[in-house]
Every structure is written in C-alpha cells, then in structure tokens.
Amino acid sequence: MNAPDKRPALAPNRFTAYGTELTSRMLLGTAQYPSPQIMAEAVAVSKTGIVTVSLRREQARGRTGERFLELIRALNVHVLPNTAGCRTAKEAVTTAQMARELLDTDWIKLEVIANDDTLQPDLFGLVEAAAILTRDGFKVFPYTTEDLGAADRLLAAGCEILMPWGAPIGSGRGLANPYGLKTMRAYFPGTPLVIDAGVGAPSHAAAAMEMGYDAVLLNTAVAKAGDPVRMAAAFAAAIDAGRTAYEAGLMEPRDMAQPSTPVAGTPFFDLPPRTG
C-alpha cells in the first residue's frame, strides 16, 4: 500500500482583484475577432473571468455596438471597460463615467496614451486620472509601464492593482524589458500585477507567469490568430503552466555545468593496456 502524499497542495490557479476572486489568470480582450461568434467561443475556451471592452469603439458602431454589448453581457463574465484612445486625463475620466453608466460597473481599465506610434502610457495623465476616479468610487486597473515611481504614485492614488505593459500594444514582441518587470515584481510583492499588452505567443505569457506575475491580459495575439479559439486554449494552458512552475519553485540558473548524476562513489575500472 502506498503511503499518503503529504506534500502541500499548490494554491488554486486564481487571483483576487478588488476583493473579487477570479478563477482564471487570463484576461481577454474582445476586439478584432473575425466574428462575434468566434469571439464568444474563444472566451469560453479560455475560461477567462474578465473580458475588456472599448467603450469608445462600441459607441462608434451605433446599433451594431449595442448588439455587441448584449453579446458581451451574455458571456457571463466580469466586464472591464477601458478608456482606450483617450489622450488626456479629462477625456479618460469622462469615458470612465460613461462606461459606468452604460455597463453598470465601477471597474475601469484606465488608459491615457502619450504617443501615437508606441501607444505608451502617459504616466502623468494616468496618475491624475486614477486619483480622480478612485475618489469617485471607481476600481481602477491602470495600464502603465514598469516605472517604479509611477507605480508608487498609482498605488498612493488608490489603485490596488497595476498593469504594466510587456511591449507596445499589438506588437507581439513579448517581454521587452524582463529585468524591469522582474524588479517591479520584487518591489511590489503584495500587489496584484498583470502583464498588459505586447504578448504575442503562449511562451511569452508563460514567462511572465514564471516571474510571479498574477495574470496576463491578451487581445491581438488571440483575435488575429489563424484559429482564435485554439490560440485562446493554447494561451490558457501556457498561463496555467507558468503559474504552476512559479508555485512549484523554479531552479536558479547557473554559470557552470552541474552534473545531474553525482560523480562521488562512481566506480572506476582499470582497463588492460592497448597493444599493437
């Protein structure tokens, strides 16, 4: 009879955002899919607990946007509206207020963009808008960089979660500054951190999770894949694997080789002299 396994069980593959426990560490965007049906199937396969929606884009669609929002509500997951496309704190605050009224949620993914080419966050406007929104009762998910000073100010403004970019939005480059991201993880050990933007392959998502990040937000890499549904499943598996590896304890890299089989006690045999 085998002895019972006394090893401690790994923590459930979930994390908490603003007091809400989520059963998946994958957040999924809803833009750019070939069809609403494929988007819905990708969401279902990913088992995500949060989908993001651009209020400005859906407003521009008019009645089509209204039908799209009905589909989003039918997914039975948390909806995280975002302020994509906003370039000032005032514009972002106004968009967030409209999103709260339309979608009946105080969650908001806050984006204030500084540069049209890189879509890099405007850290000054971001902190300003975050302070206004948290005072107004919003639960802010700020799209930021790995800048530690900005992170400190966002937390002081009332944010309870940080979402640093991996690389520019839609670039698929992965983790452009792994050193900075590792430093951020170490500097804020108790703060939920979500990699947002730039992830292009499941291996990028797994690498972020192996660093100890709490979740990954994806959109383009899934929506623009040849098969978005299968790609959503691939990312979900990679995120689970990366988190499990982090919790299990990854080995530290070494500069020199170390034999996996110890040489101490290895028998050595005298060979007969060669002749001829």
Q: Quickly list DSSP for the chain.
A: -PPP--SPPPPPS-EEETTEEES-SEEEE-SS-S-HHHHHHHHHHHT-SEEEEEHHHHHHTTHHHHHHHHHHHHT-SEEEEE-TT--SHHHHHHHHHHHHHHH---EEEE--B--TTT--B-HHHHHHHHHHHHHTT-EEEEEE-S-HHHHHHHHHTT-S-BEE-SSSTT-----S-HHHHHHHHHH-TTS-BEEES---SHHHHHHHHHTT-SEEEESHHHHTSSSHHHHHHHHHHHHHHHHHHHHH-PPPP-SS---SS--TT----PPPPP--
> Is residue 8's pLDDT more than 50?
no
Q: Which residues are annotated as catalytic? A: 109
Q: Using one digit for the tens of pLDDT, what is the confidence trace for 156-170?
A: 999 999 999 999 999
Average pLDDT value for residue range 181-199? 96
Q: Using one digit for the tens of pLDDT, what is the confidence trace for 220-252?
A: 999 999 999 999 999 999 999 999 999 999 988
> Is residue 43's pLDDT more than 80?
yes
Residue 65, pLDDT score: 60
- 78 beta partners: 50
Distance CA 75, CA 69 (A): 10
> Picking from 2-16, 19-33, 42-56, which range would have the lowest pLDDT averaged per residue?
2-16
Environment class of 173 (CB within 10 Å of its CB; exposed 0-12, middle 13-18, buried 19+): middle
Residue 238, pLDDT score: 97
pTM for the model stands at: 0.85
Tell me the pLDDT band of 258, cut-offs 50, 70 and 90.
confident
Of residues 231 and 263, which shows the higher confidence score?
231
> Picking from 73-82, 183-192, 207-216, which range would have the lowest pLDDT averaged per residue?
73-82
Q: Using one digit for the tens of pLDDT, what is the confidence trace for 129-165?
A: 999 999 999 999 999 999 999 999 999 999 999 999 9
Of residues 38 and 254, which shows the higher confidence score?
38
Average pLDDT value for residue range 180-193? 96
Average pLDDT value for residue range 71-75? 86
